[in-house]
Amino acid sequence: MPKQDSSELYLQLLSKHDPEIRAFVRALVPSAVDVADVMQNVSVVAWKKFAELDEPAENFGRWCCVIARYEVLKFRRSKARDRLVLTDELVELISEEAEAESRRRDAQIGYLEECLSELPEKRRILVQEAYAPGSSVKEMAKHRSVEANSLYQMLWRIRQELARCIEGKRKAESF
């Protein structure tokens, strides 16, 4: 397999983590226009420093959030005369909470992936089909020659099982 071009990898990682980074910036910047400006600056800085990042596939999202924090602070200094600007301490507190939430979300996704892999194959495939883009439970039921309500019930039971599994893994890890 050929080695992936760094610009291609950067674009893939930026696309993958954009919602996470944008949510982080949105929590710290009041206006959508300003969020777009900060995001553009984050993208440029991240591109310039991408070669310095160790293990990009694992660290890119958090690394960009750190860049975003500094870009938000820089943005805020440029807007210091505006009346509706958060204090540096509050921005720092919000960014710390956003990072903690990102770690919790990553853990939840990891637990979900583990729990999905533990499901019997037929049930796992059913869940994956149900949540695939453009999927319809009614169409799935028709394809399987079962009532849609039966399929909804089965999916509800599987979701409950996944929720219990995730909660069990979360509790086990906290000990």
The CATH number for 7's domain is 1.10.1740
pLDDT at residue 172 is higher than 70: yes
Percent of the chain with pLDDT over 70: 93
* Rounded-to-integer distance, Cα 36 and Cα 78, Å: 15
What does the pLDDT read at residue 2? 44
What residue numbers bound the domain in which 1 lies? 1-111
Q: Are 24 and 65 in contact (CB under 8 A)?
A: yes
pTM above 0.75, yes or no: no
pLDDT at residue 80 is higher than 90: no
Indicate the residue among 111, 131, 148 that finishes a domain: 111
DSSP letter string, 99-132:
HHHHHHHHHHHHHHHHHHHHS-HHHHHHHHHHTS
Give the count of domains, the chain. 2
Category of 29 on φ-ψ map: left (φ > 0), alpha (ψ -120 to 50) or beta? beta
Tokens 């019997």 -> residue? 120
Question: 113-122 pLDDT, tens per residue?
Answer: 999 999 999 9
Question: 24-78 pLDDT, tens per residue?
Answer: 898 888 788 899 999 999 999 999 999 888 888 888 988 999 999 999 989 888 8
Indicate the residue among 57, 86, 111 that finishes a domain: 111
DSSP letter string, 24-35:
HHHHH-S-HHHH
pLDDT at residue 79 is higher than 70: yes
Indicate the residue among 111, 130, 147 that finishes a domain: 111
